[in-house]
Structure 1
Amino acid sequence: MVLRYLSDAYRAASQTIPEHLKTEELRDLIEWLGELVRQVDSSLLDEWEELVSGAGSLPEGDEPVVPPAPKRLTSNVRAFRILVRNELFRRVQLAAREDVETLASLDPDFGAEGWNSALDAYFAEHDEILTGADARSSALLMIEQGASEWAVRQIIDDPAGDHDWGISATVDLAASDDAGEAVVTVTALDRL
């Protein structure tokens, strides 16, 4: 039932809001919502899209009905960028709370020692890590897209507005497709 409501919300937003009224944030939300519905049950949305386009038809004769192969998570770049941004901002929120244990569980290669050392250095210069709307802005996320891996840097929104610290990470595209979620590996929390 929830899936049907989400699907209806996606259809309504994507088809009834005029293009000139859609902001970048709204387009991101629509893409994310569509990708969420696809990840939960791609057949429902794909079937609806086929019916709308007129491409849907029943197989002839005794041909078996075979569902189409699921789309790769990374094929929708806009929605995937949102997933990456969410994963990095999750780390920003945890860093703001100094939840080193959870950070280390998310990034075992960077580890508790790496997080502790980096957070100590950050907090020696700044009193807090901001987590408001400005901190979540896509303007504070830099992405260098490669064929198999993305290099990303989430800029930390500090109280002084220096934006001189950030979290660097890599995103493995093949692993993300396999896992069905953005596979982010933090490599550093450091000063630019």
Structure 2
Amino acid sequence: LEKIEYPKPNREFIYDTFNEFSRKHPWVGQENIRPKSVAREMVETFQSFHDYIKEYDLERVEGLLLRYLSEVYKVLLQTIPEPAKTDELVAIIEYLRTLLKDVDSSLVEEWENLRTPELAAQRAADKKLKEDAREAEALARKEAERLQKQKIISLRNEVFRGMRFLYNADYANAALVFPRGDSSSTADELEAKMKEYFLDHSRLLIDMKARAAHFSQITELGENRYQLVQTLVDADEHNDWALTVEAEFTNGPKLNFLSLKSLN
């Protein structure tokens, strides 16, 4: 067992090169170099971090492997002169960079920030712009939702104001809420329609139950335009008639125009 070793590719070249380097730089000779094939194998097989962990059951030492790969990336990036970086080596560096960034982007960003402070400043500025944009988008979305809710409430309230006039057989005022053509002809039409309604329905309800949201079907037709189909709830629960109106709003929640489309 003492003779068993882990793979050390190019061990002789690595040891000889290190020994030659340490003779000219004595401070590096305090600790011997330790060749290993982890990064080499990952590059050759183009494995992801999680694939490599899974293949060798390294779940317990994920952090150690991550630190090792981070050091390999830093060494390749920092110690090799730019003229010596071949296309193949640049591809390896980019592979390690992508691998590390997929696992923990902070490892790459912190190191690159140290190497290029101006890049760090630009990233910070970009991050601030993105955060501001997200915040502005969230506020705009929240305001749009609030405005939409106010429009729906305003529309339903106006429809039920007209429904109360129908309930009280006040067709002249109902026609003012639900105009179609001139008010008088609409009043006559509403009266005729409600007489037809009461042939088969004992009573129209406008209580809390009748005002439940599921009896109001609202469709957005376009910018500031809506259609509302309001079920006429009756005491016998036939609920087989509906009043259809179209509404137009200003840019705010104020109702600009409401028109009757059908009642049957």
Match for 1:142 among 217, 231, 235? Answer: 217
Matched residue, 2:162: 91
Matched residue, 1:163: 239
How far residue 183 of structure 1 moved from its aligned partner, in angstroms, is 2.6
**Structure 2 segments unaligned to the other structure (5+ residues):** 1-142
Match for 2:259 among 160, 163, 185? Answer: 185
The equivalences for 1:53-132 within 5 A come to 76-109=147-180, 111-132=186-207
Distance in 2, Cα, partners of 1:89 & 1:75: 21
Higher helix proportion: 2
**Structure 1 segments unaligned to the other structure (5+ residues):** 1-71
CA RMSD in angstroms comes to 2.4
For normalisation by structure 1, the TM-score amounts to 0.55
Runs of 4+, deviation exceeding 3 Å = 72-75, 176-179
CA 1:130 to 1:92, structure 2 compared with 1: closer, same or farther past 3 Å? same
Residue aligned with 1:135, SS: coil
How far residue 150 of structure 1 moved from its aligned partner, in angstroms, is 1.3
Matched residue, 1:41: none
CA 1:146 to 1:99, structure 2 compared with 1: closer, same or farther past 3 Å? same
Matched residue, 2:230: 154
Choose between structure 1 and 2 for higher RCO, CA contacts under 8 A separated by at least 6 residues: 1
For normalisation by structure 2, the TM-score amounts to 0.41
CA 1:180 to 1:119, structure 2 compared with 1: closer, same or farther past 3 Å? same
Distance in 2, Cα, partners of 1:178 & 1:137: 25
What is the aligned length? 117
